[in-house]
Amino acid sequence: MNFRESPEAESLRDQLRAMMADLLPEDFLGGFTNDPADMDTTEAFCRELGSRGLISLTWPSEYGGQGRGTWEQMALREEMWANYEPRGAQYMNVNWVAPALMRFGSQDQKDRHLPAIAAGEEVWCQGFSEPEAGSDLASLRTAAKPTVGGWEISGQKVWTSYATVAQWIFLLARTDPVAEKHHGITVFILPLDRPGIEVRPIRSMVGPHHLNEVFLDGVWAGPEDVMGEVNDGWRVVRETLAFERVGIARYARCERLLLEAPTALGEGRWSALPLTLTARWAMALVHTRQARILAYRVIDKQSSGRVDPGEVAAYRIAVTKLEQEVAEVLMDAVGELASGDPDEEPWKFVRAVEDHWRYAQAATVASGSVEMQRILLARSMDLVRR
């Protein structure tokens, strides 16, 4: 693989960095904080991205995109995640909602949602996990029962990120209760203000807007709300999750924080750290480069129409373990600042490290646990029965 970046990707990085320098506050750590102004910042930033055609950067022209290359999209992902994802929840739209709509959506669904996503005006959430169907997603129990002209959906979703700020939910429900486990599931796309839907936030250490329960009580859905074919939702999900798991360039933020550490702590503090800790820092930096190469390998295959579930799983395992490794190394490195002056410059870096540590705690569970990813990897290598 040639790792030399194209002039177009380099130019895009320069454009994005200039935008973020102009539009983001100096202490910005993402939209999901206790300060409502941070959410306002992400919404304004998304609208600006949309006005410049940067949300639909690689979409085909028939869907209003620029048709630019996969590696330019990769550059955009890396710049966004290195800068605390100023798109907020919008990244989900780009990574998998829009690709799913393009591949499986009806023409009416494409016409309704793709322009709004491209403009940065629409936020989605993912109605997948349930109290007894998290990593084993195919065991979901939310049921869509046939009724005159459509379905009535009842059930519960949990760990639904962004449901308090989203307008739409990408929902999985079982439409055939007697079908085999991975069959009889259908994808519905529903507005969250539809009668019978209730969102309840779950308090957590990763900040507001993130984790929620979604309750569905006799929610009406018509044929126009179905994405893809009835009872064929698992195929949609399988492809969707492949996009989602590689579409988040988490290693980019890890690398930024690691490289900032010596400067942020200052030469005196950094040189005083134990050699065992700086050795762990160096090894973590190596692991960020390995995760990047794994991501590039998957993206290269996806760009040519090939999706290898095993390689996606290998990347997912590597990058989630990396997040936790980097979090522990940096928390140990900044530990000596705990009794320092909060007005000193290093405290901006300390807040960023603490923020990263909080999110890293859930990294090996979110978007499919590491244990499930190992099973997928083993299956791809024919090490276990399917």
Residue 60 CB neighbours (<10 A): 11
3-state secondary structure (DSSP) of residue 227: strand
Q: Pick from 293, 348, 356: which is nearest to 326 by CA?
A: 356
Is 37:30 a contact under the CB 8 Å cutoff? Answer: no
Alpha-carbon span 61 to 44, nearest angstrom: 25
**Region of residue 149 (phi > 0: left; psi between -120 and 50: alpha; otherwise: beta):** left
Let me know if 244 is a catalytic residue: yes
Is 211:202 a contact under the CB 8 Å cutoff? Answer: yes
DSSP string, 36-101: HHHHHHHHHHHHHHHHTT-TTTTS-GGGT-----HHHHHHHHHHHHHTT-TTTTHHHIIIIIHHHH
Tokens of 241: 């999750």
Residue 132 DSSP class: T
Query: In the 3-class helix/strand/coil scheme, how is 312-365 assigned residue by residue?
Result: HHHHHHHHHHHHHHHHHHHHHHHHHHCCCCCCCCHHHHHHHHHHHHHHHCCCCC
Catalytic residue among 72, 78, 122, 244: 244
Exposure b/e, 94-113, CB count within 10 A at least 16 = b: bbbbbbbbbebbbeebbebb
Residue 244, CA distances (Å) to 48, 291, 380 in order = 23, 16, 19
Element of type H or E holding 277: helix 275-303
| Cα-based torsion angle of the residue sequence 92, 97, 99, 100 in order, rounded to the nearest 10 degrees | 150
The interaxial angle of helices 309-334 and 370-380, nearest 10 deg, is: 140
Among all residues, which ones are annotated catalytic?
A: 244
